[in-house]
Amino acid sequence: MEPKDFLVIAIIVVGSGGILGGLAALLKVFFDRRSIDTTHKRRVKEALLKKIVEYVEKYYLPMLCESDGLAYSLKEKEKDERTFLYLCRYASRRLEVTRGMPGYFLRTRAGEAMVRRLEDEIYNDFTKSQECLSPIDWNQMAAMTSSHETWAEFQPKLEIEPLKGAFERFQKWRGDSNIAEKASIHLRCYIKFLEYEINEVLKDWYGKKPELVLEKTEKEEINNLIEDLVKDRELSSNEAKDLKSLLDKAELLLTE
């Protein structure tokens, strides 16, 4: 073998070693970055979960409690005075929540968008007509009532302005059965959807996957709101697809 052959072999060996060394370095960078990304994602997830649990206890559950009382009173057609108390307590609690947290932190961005839209729809159902309840009425109701107010504490206020006038306008609002029914549907959708989102986050604690159970009118309303959110560019097509898939899997509650 000629000396030049040894030289060629040496160059090949050294070059191969350099290439392998370079590949090893690139692989090390890749896996280091992947480890950093995984650690970062885990820390972000832990921080968000901690925040969600905090909000569940401090804001979501109290809001669900007031929403449930108002929804029941509307659906069961309780006396106007009693339902108006539930509405004032709901308005007061919503004001507390708005002041206390910057926004909803839930399992998905799509879930947050749907809960926010349902909350807006509830507000609009009660205040969209100036001839009935107005945004000014709403703010005064929230300011003059506490979220834990009893009937004994609330009853005398019905004889005092501005709650007296707001109550009269509420009675007029409730006389429109269509809009009152719409508000009832939006409240029930809000309750069920927020409960589902909360339970989905806490499923590891309960040991089972939560179920979304809806009436036919509720399912139809959520489906319509998904379309509206897409038009308003608050949901992407993929997020809308995921929500519709959730609706398809939802158990339908049959009502007469």
120 vs 26: CA distance, rounded Å: 51
37 vs 114: CA distance, rounded Å: 29
Phi and psi based region of residue 210 (left: phi greater than 0; alpha: psi -120 to 50; beta: remaining)? beta
120 vs 186: CA distance, rounded Å: 10
211 vs 213: CA distance, rounded Å: 6
pTM of the model: 0.80
Phi and psi based region of residue 161 (left: phi greater than 0; alpha: psi -120 to 50; beta: remaining)? beta
Residue 76, classed as helix, strand or coil, is: coil
Predicted confidence at residue 10, as pLDDT, reads 43
Across the chain, which has 256 residues, the per-10-residue mean pLDDT values are: 46 49 58 63 76 86 94 90 96 92 84 94 88 89 92 93 94 89 94 89 71 90 94 92 89 63
Give all strands (DSSP E) within 90-204, no chain letters.
none
214 vs 112: CA distance, rounded Å: 19
Predicted confidence at residue 256, as pLDDT, reads 44
**Each residue of 209-244: b (16+ CB within 10 Å) or e?**
eeebebbeebbebbeebbeebbeeebbeeebbeebe
Span 31-75, pLDDT tens digits: 556 556 667 677 777 777 787 788 888 999 999 999 999 999 998
Cβ atoms of 88 and 157 within 8 Å: the answer is no
DSSP structural state of residue 215: E
Q: Which of 126, 162, 171, 123 is nearest to 141 (CA)?
A: 162
Cβ atoms of 131 and 100 within 8 Å: the answer is no
149 vs 177: CA distance, rounded Å: 27
What is the residue extent of each domain of the chain?
Answer: 57-253
User: What is the four-CA torsion angle of 159, 163, 168, 174, rounded to 10 degrees?
Assistant: -130
